[in-house]
Amino acid sequence: MAPTSGAGAPKKKPARKSTLAVGAARASGERAKRRSTPLIAADPARPAETAPATPAQAAPTPATPAAVTSTAATLAPAASSGKHRPRPVAKSVPTRKAVARSGARTTKPSRAAAAGPRRDEGGATSASPRHTPAPKVRALKAVTDDVVVPEPAIGAGSSGGSRSIAPGVEELLTAGIAAVRVAAEAAGISPDDVERHLASMLSFVRRRVTGDYTVDEFGFDEDFTRHFYLPVLRPLYRSWFRVEVRGIENIPSEGGGLVVANHSGTVAMDSLMTQVAVHDEHPEHRHLRMLGADLVFQTPVIGQVARKSGSTLAANPDAERLLSSGELCGVWPEGFKGVGKPFSERYKLQRFGRGGFVSAALRTGAPIIPCSIVGAEEIYPIIGNAKAVARLLGAPYAPITPTWPLLGPLGLIPLPSKWIIEFGSPVETADLGPNAADDPMLVFDLTDQVRETIQQTLYSLLMQRRSVFF
């Protein structure tokens, strides 16, 4: 009888699983347990995948907070009163480390999803994402329920008493003025005078910035001269050279006039001190319009300052225009020969040129006021002249003094000699008429008369002076 596949046939043994398959199944079970453990809450930002609904399950309905509470109490396990640990409740979003340890897969939301839906021009929400820049992060503020903490006012002090912002310009000026007053009192200077000068300086700066000043046809800037140029020279005039002025009453209070003085001192400091003396000592505070050589106006910076302070070229047309307009002019006829003469020839006047200043005074009828200056010869006593260096530089002379160039920059400091400036009696020219300027003999006689007057006055002042420096 042939064999049949009946019940009596021997059963075939199932194939034995490999070790790898057993390990994979065990790992799958462990992951399933970890995924379902209640100790770690699921990510609230990612909704959980729902299984297909069964007939036994009911459709979810919205519930009130009270209903949710009662439902949670009902679904709690009956054996919660046991000794095992109660089911924890998630109070916050799990950290990335905890999610990684649980084995759950998480995906980061894209920038478009984080930015939210986009609205089109009609106001409808668009599903397509839009790339927008990240908003600025604002600092978090701890507040209580229904309470808004007001922000501190600008400029208000902090809890520690320190100011939250830098002080304003007004406070800085106030502090600076107070410091200047304290320093002035310590130095023995009147604080009111210092404050007045400081206010004048600030007002001058404001006018220069806004352009609120005028300049005449010769370039004279009265605002610059009165508030900057003369104040810079006054310390030398009052404290260093201690200038003594005599005969200031011989200068007319109004109208044209020509001041003629001797020239000395290596550097033309005598003309600057004469300008300060006329302005500060005269009752009308007149400005002396000086006539200078062309080399002065060709020098950078010095030429611009000379123009702004009222100087102009020593030429008859310019001098006559100034005198005709009622200005007070000053001229130093010796020129570079007087300034650059050696110390051995001090207070000996050089030739006064061809008398061009006398011709200008005759044509305009302006009086000539002789002026004698003692003390300027000693500020830079010339003991030598480097003529080769002078030719190389294109200068009229290259002085060598006891301090220059031996002491370098310190040799530029003038010696503090005692100065005396005396204005002599004016020489009237109005009665001679403008045609007298064409008479060379008359011009020569007046030139020599003025020169001799200045020379004799210099000798007299040297006899009266007690010391060079006192």
What one-letter code names the amino acid at 136?
A: K
Reported as a single tens digit per residue, the pLDDT across 346-356 is 999 999 988 89
Q: Which pLDDT does position 28 carry in this prediction?
A: 63
Mean pLDDT on 60-72: 44
Q: Which fold has domain 219-379+414-464?
A: Glycerol-3-phosphate (1)-acyltransferase (3.40.1130)
Cβ partners under 8 Å of residue 422, min gap 6: 245, 246, 247, 371, 372, 457, 461
Q: Which pLDDT does position 186 carry in this prediction?
A: 82
Q: Which pLDDT does position 53 carry in this prediction?
A: 46
Q: Which residues of 410-441 are buried (b: 16+ CB within 10 A; e: fewer)?
A: eeeebbbbbbbbbbbebbebeeeeeebbeeee
Neighbours of 403 (CB within 10 A): 16
Q: CA 198: distance to chain centroid?
A: 18
Q: Which pLDDT does position 462 carry in this prediction?
A: 94
The residue extents of the domains of the chain are 181-212, 219-379+414-464
Cβ partners under 8 Å of residue 375, min gap 6: 241, 243, 417, 418, 419, 420, 468
**Backbone φ, ψ for residue 33 (5° rounding):** -65, -45
Q: Which pLDDT does position 90 carry in this prediction?
A: 55
Query: How far apart (Å, rounded) are the C-alpha atoms in residues 423 and 429?
Result: 17
Question: How is residue 201 written in tokens?
Answer: 């300086």
Reported as a single tens digit per residue, the pLDDT across 123-162 is 455 444 455 555 554 554 444 445 444 554 444 444 444 4
Task: Tell me if 289 sits within 8 A of 310, measured CB to CB.
Answer: yes
Q: Which pLDDT does position 191 carry in this prediction?
A: 79
Mean pLDDT on 198-218: 89
Burial of 276 by CB count in 10 Å (0-12 exposed, 13-18 middle, 19+ buried)?
A: buried
Reported as a single tens digit per residue, the pLDDT across 411-426 is 999 999 999 999 999 9
Cβ partners under 8 Å of residue 222, min gap 6: 213, 214, 287
Closest CA to 336 of 271, 404, 287: 271
Q: Which pLDDT does position 12 carry in this prediction?
A: 52
Beta bridge partners of residue 119, listed in sequence order: 125
- Out of 102-116, 140-154, 392-406, give the one with best mean pLDDT: 392-406
Q: Which pLDDT does position 184 carry in this prediction?
A: 79
> How is residue 60 annotated by DSSP?
P
The single residue listed with the structure tokens 């007939």 is 55
- Inform me whether the pLDDT recorded for 200 exceeds 50: yes
- Residues comprising the chain, all counted: 470
Cβ partners under 8 Å of residue 333, min gap 6: 260, 263, 352, 353, 357, 447, 451
Is 290 strand, coil or helix? strand
Reported as a single tens digit per residue, the pLDDT across 13-45 is 555 656 666 666 676 666 555 555 555 444 554
Q: Which long-range contacts (CB under 8 A, 24 or more apart) does 298-306 make?
A: 305/229
**More confident position, 79 or 176:** 176
Mean pLDDT on 421-445: 93
Q: Which pLDDT does position 394 carry in this prediction?
A: 87
Query: How far apart (Å, rounded) are the C-alpha atoms in residues 175 and 187?
Result: 18
Alpha helices by DSSP H, 284-386: 294-298, 302-308, 316-324, 335-339, 356-364
Comparing 61-70, 98-107, 159-168, 435-444, which segment has the lowest mean pLDDT? 61-70
Residue 258's Cβ-side half-sphere holds a number of Cα atoms within 13 Å equal to 34
Neighbours of 257 (CB within 10 A): 25
| Torsion angle defined by CA atoms of residues 12, 18, 21 and 22, in that order, rounded to the nearest 10 degrees | 90
The single residue listed with the structure tokens 């980061």 is 108
Q: Which pLDDT does position 324 carry in this prediction?
A: 95
Query: How far apart (Å, rounded) are the C-alpha atoms in residues 396 and 382?
Result: 14
Comparing 46-50, 269-273, 294-298, 302-306, which segment has the lowest mean pLDDT? 46-50
Mean pLDDT on 100-122: 55
Confidence of residue 177 (pLDDT cuts 50, 70, 90): confident
**More confident position, 269 or 77:** 269
- Inform me whether the pLDDT recorded for 379 exceeds 50: yes
Question: How is residue 346 written in tokens?
Answer: 């001090």
